[in-house]
Amino acid sequence: MLDINDITLRFGGRLLFNGASAHISDGQRVGLTGRNGTGKTTLFRLILGELTSDDGDITITKGHRIATVAQEIPDGNLSLIDCVLKADTERTELLAELEQAEQAEDGIRISEIHERLNIIGAGSAEARAGAILYGLGFSAEQQKQPLTDFSGGWRMRVALAAALFVPSDILLLDEPTNHLDLEATLWLENFLSKYAGTLVIISHDRSLLNHLCTRILHIEGLKIQSYGGNYDAFEQTRALQRENEQKQAAKTEEKRKHLQAFIDRFRYKASKAKQAQSRVKMLEKLPEKAFFYDDSALHFKFPSPQELPSPLIKIENGAVGYGEKAVLSKMTLRIDADDRIALLGANGNGKSTFAKLLAGKLKLMDGTIQASGKLKVGYYAQHQTEELSKDLTPIQQMQQVMKEANETQIRAHLGAFGLTQQKAETRIALLSGGEKARLLFAVMTRDAPHILLLDEPTNHLDIDARDALIEAINAYQGAVILITHDPHLIELTADRLWLIDAGRCTAYDGDLEDYRALLAQKAKIQAAGKGQDKSEKSVVSRKNERREAAEKRQQLAPLRKTLKETETELAKLNEQKEKIEEMLEDPSLYMIGLNAAKVKGLQISLARLNQEIDTAEERWLELSAKLETAQQA
């Protein structure tokens, strides 16, 4: 049981919670929602004891074990499987103690340790850890490789695997699908559906919240509101509440105006003074004006392309890859003007390679490809944020790619993606991840492309923005090729599924539910120990593979070094930020007439640090994506 009791918290000088309460019973599956900045992650830190509320408290049933994803990215030469196994500290400590007891020939203690190891299932630990890593996209061979062989995004998967592996009664997950592909997301959803403890999850993935959660805690107006059911049920209930509140507020406001009009008219007339005074008292008793959050819907609009005859692209027996190595081969397919196609297949199978072929960034190694000379393709990928000039505003950025357009036309195009006047004139470095994603949508569609290639377009979008993207895709009059880990986006936009697997791109006859079942079956096979690589390769072949792997690691070493330096810089900046926040939380700092200049200086420093942290985080994300792409190539 987890109780949040009337907590009040000021964080960095800003009030986040004011008398907020919630109760979570054992075994519940709770989605924690709220707009960015309302305090979702901060609430997790309070539950974990990393922060203390100014007032109120949080109580957890004694003995309950809490698991969450470590904030630090795992690093070092430890293998992936050993990193996950090490997360179970009781098992790790018992094994170390067992070794000492055996050296001391302490038979009684050896027996006790073995008994405890049996109770906690230590014998099956490696198989369980391996199954989790496999579900998150790591092959049996990769599980034996050191952490340093993988990019930050892949190492975040290892951190997630460790949190899932550790025995726990309460599991806290903050955006767990951010670094996952569709296959790993579907596996995670299935895994969490069988979790026996209490699950609290922060996520913008509507499908995940709908499939897993039986309750929603929504942070709004410094309080925590509780709603029964999944995310769709929460939205419906909240919409009705909003409607009723708006109606009641309108009635109250009408009454307020009527009373005020009477008072203004008759306040100074002796014959009506008593009635006027009575209405003043009535006016004072009316509830204060309700404050409503800006729930105006966000809308995107992709420009309509000029009509071209189908097929837009036709490939016959095509092969594509890098250098002399084909990633995909024997492809025979066509893309028509009204196609909505989602690409299935695990990361590394060639989805991004296929997208680069369609975008014209790669050429066929074999076979033929036919396309109209007038065909325009818009390509969206997260790593393209590095192509944005951080010191420019969105208007200035668009002026560089829309040279023939005037400022009014550019503003209208930016406005189609929610970047209205204020945001259009803000430096790109100061935009949020979601705002930068919307700017990329504007850049990629500047010349009204006939095909949209969307590679993980929802990574930085909240639920409202994802809904806007779905509407825009469905209204768009060209073809769409989707690579996404968001099942909800696929289900509401795609009418065809293509599976990229084993070096081929073929039509998948089933729907997403069939694909879920297929992945679940594969996971069962792996859990039974049948998913291991049993191919009998020659010694020469293995040597060649090791040599190629070593060469690839050497090529990627400079990029890994830069990524590591960025991680170190980010850690130092966060340390500085925590120190300043601790100083700002000191009540003695706010004594009347004292330390005003010091408080102002600390607040300025905090604002500067927040900006530097945002910039460093963006740089880390870009480097991680770049390394991930290079590893998949």
Q: State the alpha helices, DSSP H only, in 429-534.
A: 433-444, 463-475, 487-493, 512-527
How far is it, in rounded angstroms, from Cα 326 to Cα 318? 10
- Contact status, residue 617 vs residue 577, Cβ threshold 8 Å: no
- Contact status, residue 197 vs residue 169, Cβ threshold 8 Å: yes
Q: In percent, how much of the chain has pLDDT > 70? A: 91
- Partners of 316 in beta bridges: 368
How far is it, in rounded angstroms, from Cα 523 to Cα 560? 31
Query: H-helix or E-strand containing 182?
Result: helix 182-193
pLDDT at residue number 539 = 44
In the block, residue with structure tokens 């995909």: 328
How far is it, in rounded angstroms, from Cα 347 to Cα 521? 19
Phi/psi at 228 (5° precision): -80, 150
Question: 331: Cβ–Cβ under 8 A, 6 or more apart, which residues?
Answer: 315, 317, 318, 319, 320, 367, 504, 505
Half-sphere exposure of 223 (CA within 13 A, CB side): 3
- Contact status, residue 51 vs residue 100, Cβ threshold 8 Å: no
> Helix %, strand %, coil % for the chain, to 5?
50, 20, 30
Neighbours of 583 (CB within 10 A): 14
Report which of 491, 412, 438 is spatially closest to residue 185, judged by C-alpha positions: 491
How far is it, in rounded angstroms, from Cα 476 to Cα 482? 14
pLDDT at residue number 531 = 39
Three-class secondary structure of residue 314 per DSSP: strand
- Contact status, residue 603 vs residue 13, Cβ threshold 8 Å: yes
- Contact status, residue 454 vs residue 384, Cβ threshold 8 Å: no
Query: H-helix or E-strand containing 261?
Result: helix 231-266
Q: State the alpha helices, DSSP H only, in 48-151.
A: 80-86, 89-103, 107-119, 125-135
Phi/psi at 312 (5° precision): -70, -40
How far is it, in rounded angstroms, from Cα 378 to Cα 457? 12
pLDDT at residue number 255 = 77
- Contact status, residue 217 vs residue 15, Cβ threshold 8 Å: no
pLDDT at residue number 530 = 42
pLDDT at residue number 540 = 47
pLDDT at residue number 533 = 44
Which residues in the chain come in under a pLDDT of 50? 294-295, 530-540, 542-543, 546
Any idea what DSSP says for residue 270? G
pLDDT at residue number 48 = 92
Q: State the alpha helices, DSSP H only, in 319-372.
A: 351-358
How far is it, in rounded angstroms, from Cα 276 to Cα 534? 91
| Residue 229: burial class (beta carbons within 10 Å; 0-12, 13-18, 19+) | middle
Tokens of 40: 């979702």
pLDDT at residue number 289 = 59
Kindly list the distances between the CA atom of residue 606 and the CA atoms of 13, 386, 577, 596, in Å, as whole numbers in the listed order. Answer: 10, 26, 6, 15
Question: 13: Cβ–Cβ under 8 A, 6 or more apart, which residues?
Answer: 584, 603, 606
Tokens of 603: 């607040």
pLDDT at residue number 538 = 45
Q: What is the pLDDT of residues 356-402, one digit of tens each?
A: 999 998 999 999 999 988 999 999 987 777 778 889 999 999 999 99
